Amino acid sequence: MKNRADCIDYEKPKQKVSTLRKIYIARLILRCLILAACILIAFYFPQEMQVLEGWNFFKMLTPLHLLWVLWVLDMLWQLIPVKNKIALGSQKLFQFRFIPAEDLKRINYKNLRDYIIQTTKQAYKVMLLWAAAIIFLTLLRYFNIITDTYLFLFTVTFYVCDLICVLIWCPFRLIMKNRCCTTCRIFNWDHLMMFTPMLFIRGFYPLSLLLMSILVWLIWELAVMMYPERFSEITNEALRCSNCTDKLCTQYCQKLRTPNNPDMQPIERLEEKIGETIENIKK
């Protein structure tokens, strides 16, 4: 008797879209609309862009104030433990997101430290590439090839690209070599990377956002140094694919669960590989 999977008429059940992924898809659509609105404001109501300069933030009221509030709230959610509607990858610095591995006490912390050092080196390769891109934008601004308005629009564009990286495809995975966003070493670097194009705009609006994003980044980096066990799937079972509840990066999750894919490990073999890694660390 033929296996159902071998039958032509047999259709594999579609993977159910998680609630969190639906929320993030809605956020991506909202961000696209925000980008479109900002472009319209920049070209048809350029006087509104004066809010970026000096202390005009307190002298006028524009739609960009709403965006400022939204960005501040986004960063607050990264600083406050939130139990739902926020990706685990962003919240893994907190204790309540930490599920200790069964034999955590026997883990070789020297090897864990080496793992953190390795991922940190990869992270700062991303930082160097991003710094090069920002220097390029700064030079364009210095020679008046672009204006502060364009720097702001770059920021809003990166705001959209941030969720494209989460939901569709992330180029930084080529450097970080992480399995998905849940295990990503630089998940909470997003706002810092978003706001750096406005680094040389002189005004309260960009400066306040940039300073707060630096605070988020510093807290994240301190957590990596102080609680490295929370950032590794070897020591934190919450980060393992078998325990994933977010299912944000479905294009990667699906590949991990495909036995016939020669380039990716099926989930059972992945968990077995993690187990072997734990045993090697113990030794």
Q: What is the pLDDT along the chain (283 residues), one digit of tens a residue?
A: 445 444 444 454 566 788 899 999 999 999 999 999 999 999 999 999 999 999 999 999 999 999 999 999 999 999 998 877 789 999 999 999 998 887 666 666 777 888 889 999 999 999 999 999 999 999 999 999 999 999 999 999 999 999 999 999 899 988 988 888 899 999 999 999 999 999 999 999 999 999 999 999 999 999 999 999 999 888 899 998 888 888 887 655 655 544 444 344 444 444 444 445 445 544 4
Q: For residue 236, what are the β-bridge partners?
A: 100
Residue 238: domain span: 18-282
The answer as to whether 10 is a domain residue is: no
Alpha-carbon torsion, ordered 146, 72, 90, 84, to 10 deg: -140
CA 133 to chain centre: 18
The answer as to whether 9 is a domain residue is: no
CA nearest to 52, candidates 224, 263, 215, 204:
204
Question: Cβ of 79: how many Cβ atoms within 10 Å?
Answer: 15
The answer as to whether 2 is a domain residue is: no
Structure tokens at 197: 């194009």
The answer as to whether 4 is a domain residue is: no
The answer as to whether 225 is a domain residue is: yes
The rounded distance, in Å, linking the Cα atoms of 100 and 116 is 17
Question: What is the amino acid identity at position 210?
Answer: L
The answer as to whether 35 is a domain residue is: yes
The pair phi, psi for residue 179, each rounded to 5°, is -70, -45
What is the 3 state secondary structure string of 188-226? HHHHHHHHHHHCCCCEHHHHHHHHHHHHHHHHHHHHHHH
The rounded distance, in Å, linking the Cα atoms of 165 and 133 is 17
pTM beyond cutoff 0.85: no
**E strands within 27-104?**
none
For 242-245, which contacts have Cβ atoms below 8 Å and span 24 or more sequence positions?
242/267, 242/271, 243/99, 244/88, 244/182, 245/18, 245/20, 245/88
The answer as to whether 277 is a domain residue is: yes
Q: How confident is the model at residue 243, as a pLDDT?
A: 85
Question: Cβ of 158: how many Cβ atoms within 10 Å?
Answer: 21
Q: How confident is the model at residue 270, as a pLDDT?
A: 44
Q: Are 216 and 78 in contact (CB under 8 A)?
A: yes
CA nearest to 109, candidates 283, 257, 281, 245:
281
Look at the alpha carbons of 109, 264, 86, 242 in this order and tell me if their dihedral is positive or negative. Answer: negative
The answer as to whether 28 is a domain residue is: yes
Number of structural domains the chain divides into: 1
Cβ-count burial of 106 within 10 angstroms (0-12 exposed, 13-18 middle, 19+ buried)?
Answer: exposed
Q: How confident is the model at residue 265, as a pLDDT?
A: 44
